Each structure stands twice: as structure tokens, then as C-alpha cells.
Structure 1
Amino acid sequence: MNSSLTRLFSIAQKPARRIVGLMSGTSLDGLDVALCRLEGHGAATRVQIEQFATFPYSDEQRQQIRRVFAREQVELQHLTLLHAWLGTLHGTMVLDCLDRWQVKPAEVDAIASHGQTVFHAPRHQHNLPDWPNATLQLGDADHLAVKTGIITLSDFRQKHVAAGGEGAPLAVYGDFLIFSEPGQDRVLLNLGGIANFTFLPGSLDPAAVFSTDAGPANTLLDACVRAHYPGRSYDEGGLLASQGRVSDALLTELLRHPFFAAPLPKTTGPELFSPEYLQRAQQQSNTTGLSAPDLLATLTRLSARGVADALKQHAGPQPYLAVYVSGGGLHNALLMRELQAELPGCRFGTTDDLGILPDAKEALLFAVLANETLAGTPFAIGRGRQAVPAVALGKISFPQ
């Protein structure tokens, strides 16, 4: 048997695996690297995050990604080069982490690489009836595997699309396996560039699990900060927005977008919630003269309202649920206050309360997906049009 296949077969048979989970989100903050130990698979999965670090992208690296990020028209040569360049860059970051943690690459069973999403195009968003759902993540896994010498699983969203899904959100698989609790309904809310949540029923019935995007979380806020505050990339703690006042006229116009009225589940991205979307809403609402703090205050309210409306659409007008938050938006104190005001019956905590560092959660979830592909049995989640197909996610790249 091919030596790489022999190695893969051996990893699949182990009682526990060490997997490095990688996540780079639409906020373009950098690469999250989580060294995870996973015992078993499926409902018997047990996880431990042994080490975690975030490698911030430099301004130059961020600029190179933004040349193709969420743009309908790009330079094809740069897109092609970026795919290989990001794979090697992420591999270098992984090796730097392992060296810092005094872990040899041979002691790691696999890497689970989400890659860098540069365009998300579900059918309901591109409105081209003869074309499928699609999504694109860059950061070639062959380059990553060769650079690190570690078997790499990547491109997790493509199988989901191929099997009839929209490619997002994928957190539902890991959320269900890691965070479900008998007798307690839970919501796992991720506030990244886009807000998404997973509803976990206390019955532990996979058919009753539900996951959806809810709208923007940080993507518009970050874009607004970059446009109005040179040298800053985000509103730390929500302090800038706290100095402004919400414009009801602009908020009403922003919420007129059909996405918010669309049935659940749904997916979206910064392609829709872009600076152009904000500019159009300002023109329609005669609010082009708003100050930067007022814009940020309004966009913060928009993020909270999108989450609250989606959760009410799923769980009823007065949901009483335990909500566990992760993602960069967790550190925005104003956004968290707005969420609590929109959902007064909900009890808010973080995934830290469940034993998982919030900033590491997304990287861990892709390690869980890789673990299931290596050792698990595919299972379906949800029912009807909400169903997530029973598929093994991720392509496998060998170092040799």
C-alpha cells in the first residue's frame, strides 16, 4: 500500500488524534491556530485544546487578500498566485506555532485548514437560476502539506455545496457534537464578520438541530472604521460607536434588504453586506451626512437586530434560551449590550463557560470536521429544507 495511505489508515484507527485546526475568517484579522486532541468520534467525541495562538496578518498581507476579497471582478493572475501563496504562508505559521509549543510536526496527525474565504455565492444571492450555489476559499492545501510535512484536510465547504447545501454555516456539525447538553436547549452564537447561530435541542435529536446565518456582525463595522479612522481596523470594545446615536431612518432602510425577511436557514457574506450596501441605504434614507460615531452606533444596532430577529423567527417572539457567544464580536461591549436588550429573556455567556476558549472555537470546529472525516460516520442534521446532508467534508492532501 502507498505509504501515505498507510499513514492515513493508521491515523483513522487511533483512539485519539492530534489535529491542528486553522481558521481565517471574513474579518481578515489573521490565522487562528489550535492544536487539538480529539478522542473518539461522533457522539463520543471528547476534545481538548492543547495550545492556541492567533497570527495577525500584516497590513501588506491583508492588502493582498483584499485585492480579491468579496469582489465580483478580480485580476485572475493575482487570484491564482494568492491561492499558492496563502497555502505556504499558513504552513509557515503552523510551523512557527509548533516550534514555539515544542511540538514536532511528526507528532501531529493532521491539519484541518478552512482557508480564506474570498467569495461566497449562494444562489439566492447571485440570482442566476441556471447556476449553482458556490463558495471559494483560498490557501492551497498541497502547499500547506508539503510545507509542514503533515497530512492536510481542506476545502470543507465544497462537499456541502455539492450535496445540495450552500456551503455555510458549517459550525453546526461541531456544535452538535461538542456542545449539546441533555435537557438544555442551547444557542451557540458566533459573531465573526457574519453572525451565525446553531440551535442545539436538549433532546439531542439531530433532526431538531438548526443553524443559519443571521446577517452582519463585524464586517460592516470594520469597513466603516477603516474608512473613517485611518490606521484603525476595528472598533475596539465598541468605544467609537458608544459615542454616537442610532439613526432610526438609516436602520429602517438597512433592514429593508430582502435578506432579513428571507426564510431560515440562509447564508450570506460581505459580498452582500458591503460598503456599497451601506451607501445605497444612506442615499435612500437621506442620511449621507451622518457622523462616523452615528454610523457605527447604527451598524452595531443592525448587527444585534439581525441576530435577534433571526432567533425570534426560529424560536418564537420571546425566546428564553442559554446563548453562548464566540467570535470577535464578543469583545465589542456595546454589541453585547445591544444583544441583551434585543433578547431580554435570554441568558448570555461564552463558550468559556463550556470549557472552550471563545477565540479558538472556530478553529476547533474544523479540527472536529477533519476528525469525523478521518474516523467518523457521516450523519445528517436537521430536517426538510433545513437538513444538512450526511457527508464527509474535506479534501485530503499528502505531504509526499
Structure 2
Amino acid sequence: MNSWLTRLSKAAELDSRLIVGLMSGTSLDGLDVALCRIKGSGLATHLELLGFETLPYEEKFKDDVRQVFSKREIDLEKLTLLNAYVGRMHGELVLTCLSRWRVVPSSVTCIASHGQTVYHAPQRIHRQAGYPDATLQIGDGDHLSVSTGIPVLSDFRQKHVAAGGEGAPLALYGDTILFSSDEEDRVLLNIGGISNFTYLPRTQQKGPIICTDAGPGNTLIDALTKKLFDKPYDADGTIASSGTVIVELLQALMDHRFFSEPLPKTTGPELFNLQYLEAAQLKARGSNASPTDLIATVTEFTVQGIVRTLRQGIPGQQYGLYASGGGAHNRFLLKRLSESLGLEVRKTEVLGLGGDAKEAVLFAILANETLCGSAIATGAGPQLMMGKISLPG
């Protein structure tokens, strides 16, 4: 047997594994790197977060990715070059973190890499007859593996699509493993570029688990804040809190079939973007609104998208609501969410895992499941193991 495959096979039988989880979201803030010690698998998994860091991207790199991000027509050469470049760059960033943490690369079992999403195309959105759900992430696993000397599991979303899912949200599996509770029903809400949540009924009830996208998260807020205020995001919701929601524009933004489609469902910046906002402004005759009021309105759009989807999937129920992702740092957004739902919104830190690290950790969990040979049956998505394996040599 290939020596690298032998090594991975033996690692699956060890008491614990050292796995680096990587996440690069649609907000393009930077690469989240989580160093995890994982014991066991499935619902018997025990995870210890040994190190976490977000390494910010340079503006030039962000601009390069934006040239191919969420666009139907792009420079194919640029996409091809970025696929290799992102893999190598992520490799350099991983080695930087391991050096800071004084971890020898050869002691790491594997890297779990999400890659960089550049296009998400569920059939419900593209509506092209004969074509399936599809999604595309760049950051080639072979380049990442060779540059670090560590085996890599990557391209997780493709198996989900191949098995009948839409490629998202994959938080379902890690949320089920890490956050299932005997004591309360829980909602794990991630507010990244897109908002998604996992609903976990308390384990003894054995009710249906729900995992779905809920609409825009930070994607419109960040894009509009950059355009109108030349800031990367609305820190703490300061701009939004000083503005007034434009009711007619909010109604136009909410007037999309996505919010009435059955659960689960996925979406992306391919739909909820500045062009979508401009179309809604024309419909609502709100093109002359002040910049502050526009930020207030798109922030409320994020809130109401989450509220409507939660009520669609979990009508009239009480549950513990735990937020993570970049949007969990927007205090005004969380305040509005709490007011709209009549529930306290807490952060995942109270459950023992920092919200910034959560997504990278969840991909480390997926890699561990693949190595250890289990496929979690959640009832809310395909029962499968995910991740293509790339070897250093």
C-alpha cells in the first residue's frame, strides 16, 4: 500500500488525530485556520481546539478573487490560475500558523480544506433543464498538500451534490456531532456571507433535524458599506443603528420566491447582491434613499430573512439560539434579531467553541469522519462521507 495511505489508515485507528481545518468564506476576510485534536468519531467525538487564527487576505488577492466570484461570465484563465494559486497560498498560511504554534507539520494527520467558493448554482436558481445542482470551490488540494507535506481532504461539497444535496449547508454534520443536547432544542445560526442554521431537537425527542440557508448574512451589508462608506463592514452595526429602515424597499427585498420555497434550500451572493438591491430599489422607487438608511434596510433584510426562515421551519417553538460567524460580531444585528424573535441570542462560545473558529472546526470534523469510516445519519441530508484525498507524494 502507498505509504501515505498506510499512514492515514493507521491514524484512523489511533486514540486521537491532529487535524487542521481551513475555512475561507464569501466575505473574503481571510483564511480561518483551526488546529484540532479529535478523539473518536460520530456522536462519540471529543474535540479540543488547540489553536485558531484568522490570517487576513491582502486587498490585491481579494480583488483577484472578485474577478471570478459569483459572475456568470469570467476570464477562464484567471479562474484556472487562481485555483492553483489559492491552494499554494493556503499552504503557506498553514505553515505560518504551525510555526507560530510550534507544531511540526509531520505530526499533523491531515488538513481539511473548504477552499474558496466562486459560484454556487442549485438547480432551483439556475433552472437549466437537464443540469443538476452544482457548486464550485477553488484552491486545489494537490497544491495545498505538496506545499505543506501534509495529506489534504478537500472539495467536500461535491459529494453532497452527487448524493442528491445542494452542496450546502454542510454545517449539518458537525453541528449534529458537536452540539446535540439532551436538555434543550437548539438552533446553531451561522451568519457569514449567507445565513444558515441547523435546528437540533433535543436528542430524546428524536424529532426532525433541519439544516438550511436562510438568506443573506453579511454579503449585502458588507458590499454596500464598501460602496457607500469605503469600509469593509459595518462594525457593530453602528451605521445601521443610526439609520431608518425603508419599509417599501424592505418589502421589495423580501419579495423573492426563495423565502417561500420549502426547506431545506440554499442560496448565495449569485442571488443576493448589489444588482438584486438595485432592482428592488427600482421596484420600491427608493433609489434616492440616504446611505445610512440603505445600510439600515439591508441589515433589517438579513434579520427578517433569518426570522422568516426560522418560523417557516420551526413555527411556534422555543429553543436555544446560538450565533456564530462574522455577523455575530454585529451587535445591532443580533439585537434586532432578538427583538424580532422574542428570544435571547447567545454566541456559541457559551457552548465551548468560539464562533469565529466554528466553520473551520466543522470541516476538521468532516475530515475525521471520512478517515474513521462513519457516515452520520441526520435525517436532514445525504448520509455520506465527504472530501477528496490529496497526498504529498
TM exceeding 0.5:
yes
Tell me the distance in 2 between the aligned counterparts of 1:258 and 1:305. 15
Q: Any residues of structure 2 matched to 1:71-90 within 5 Å, and which?
A: 71-90=71-90
Structure 1 residues 120 and 207: alpha-carbon distance in aligned structure 2, compared to 1, 3 A threshold: farther
Q: Match for 1:392 among 367, 385, 391? A: 385
Tell me the distance in 2 between the aligned counterparts of 1:85 and 1:24. 14
Tell me the distance in 1 between the aligned counterparts of 2:58 and 2:109. 29
Tell me the distance in 2 between the aligned counterparts of 1:315 and 1:189. 13
1:284 maps onto 2:283 in alignment: yes
Are 2:134 and 2:166, in contact at CA under 8 Å, matched by a contact in 1?
yes
**C-alpha RMSD of matched pairs (Å):** 1.0
Residue number in structure 1 paired with 2:340: 342
Are 1:122 and 1:268, in contact at CA under 8 Å, matched by a contact in 2?
yes
Residue number in structure 1 paired with 2:318: 320
Residue number in structure 2 paired with 1:70: 70
Q: For residue 37 of structure 2, give the secondary structure of its aligned residue in structure 1.
A: strand
Q: For residue 208 of structure 1, give the secondary structure of its aligned residue in structure 2.
A: coil
Q: For residue 357 of structure 2, give the secondary structure of its aligned residue in structure 1.
A: helix
Q: What percent of counterpart residues are identical?
A: 52
1:300 maps onto 2:295 in alignment: no
Amino acid at match of 1:353: V
Q: Any residues of structure 2 matched to 1:1-400 within 5 Å, and which?
A: 1-203=1-203, 208-230=208-230, 232-316=231-315, 318-344=316-342, 346-382=343-379, 387-400=380-393
Q: For residue 330 of structure 1, give the secondary structure of its aligned residue in structure 2.
A: helix
Are 1:378 and 1:391, in contact at CA under 8 Å, matched by a contact in 2?
yes
Amino acid at match of 2:81: L
Q: For residue 137 of structure 2, give the secondary structure of its aligned residue in structure 1.
A: strand
Q: For residue 245 of structure 2, give the secondary structure of its aligned residue in structure 1.
A: coil
Q: For residue 6 of structure 2, give the secondary structure of its aligned residue in structure 1.
A: helix
Are 2:185 and 2:318, in contact at CA under 8 Å, matched by a contact in 1?
no
Structure 1 residues 206 and 65: alpha-carbon distance in aligned structure 2, compared to 1, 3 A threshold: farther
Q: For residue 111 of structure 1, give the secondary structure of its aligned residue in structure 2.
A: strand
Tell me the distance in 2 between the aligned counterparts of 1:116 and 1:42. 26
Structure 1 residues 14 and 205: alpha-carbon distance in aligned structure 2, compared to 1, 3 A threshold: farther
Q: For residue 188 of structure 2, give the secondary structure of its aligned residue in structure 1.
A: strand
Shift of 1:334: 1.0
Tell me the distance in 1 between the aligned counterparts of 2:363 and 2:124. 26
Tell me the distance in 1 between the aligned counterparts of 2:41 and 2:206. 15
Q: For residue 234 of structure 1, give the secondary structure of its aligned residue in structure 2.
A: coil
TM-score, with structure 1 as normaliser: 0.97
Shift of 1:205: 6.7
Amino acid at match of 2:326: G
Amino acid at match of 1:375: C
Amino acid at match of 2:331: A
Tell me the distance in 2 between the aligned counterparts of 1:319 and 1:24. 33
Tell me the distance in 2 between the aligned counterparts of 1:37 and 1:376. 18
Residue by residue over 1:109-157, the C-alpha shift from the partner in whole angstroms, topping out at 9 and shown as x without a partner, is: 1100000001000000101121100000000010000000001000000
Question: Runs in 1 of length 4+ with deviation above 2 angstroms?
Answer: 203-207
Shift of 1:49: 0.6
Are 2:157 and 2:170, in contact at CA under 8 Å, matched by a contact in 1?
yes
Tell me the distance in 2 between the aligned counterparts of 1:101 and 1:244. 43
Are 1:190 and 1:196, in contact at CA under 8 Å, matched by a contact in 2?
yes
Shift of 1:206: 6.8
Shift of 1:243: 1.7
Residue by residue over 1:217-265, the C-alpha shift from the partner in whole angstroms, topping out at 9 and shown as x without a partner, is: 10000110111122x1111111111121000000000010111111111
Residue by residue over 1:275-328, the C-alpha shift from the partner in whole angstroms, topping out at 9 and shown as x without a partner, is: 100000000100000111101100111111111111111111x33210011000
User: May I ask how many residue pairs the two structures share in their alignment?
Assistant: 393
Structure 1 residues 206 and 22: alpha-carbon distance in aligned structure 2, compared to 1, 3 A threshold: farther
Tell me the distance in 2 between the aligned counterparts of 1:85 and 1:238. 34
Tell me the distance in 2 between the aligned counterparts of 1:54 and 1:379. 29
Shift of 1:203: 2.3
Tell me the distance in 2 between the aligned counterparts of 1:369 and 1:206. 23
Structure 1 residues 72 and 206: alpha-carbon distance in aligned structure 2, compared to 1, 3 A threshold: farther
Amino acid at match of 1:378: A
Amino acid at match of 1:243: S
Runs of at least 5 residues in structure 1 that lack an aligned partner in the other structure: none
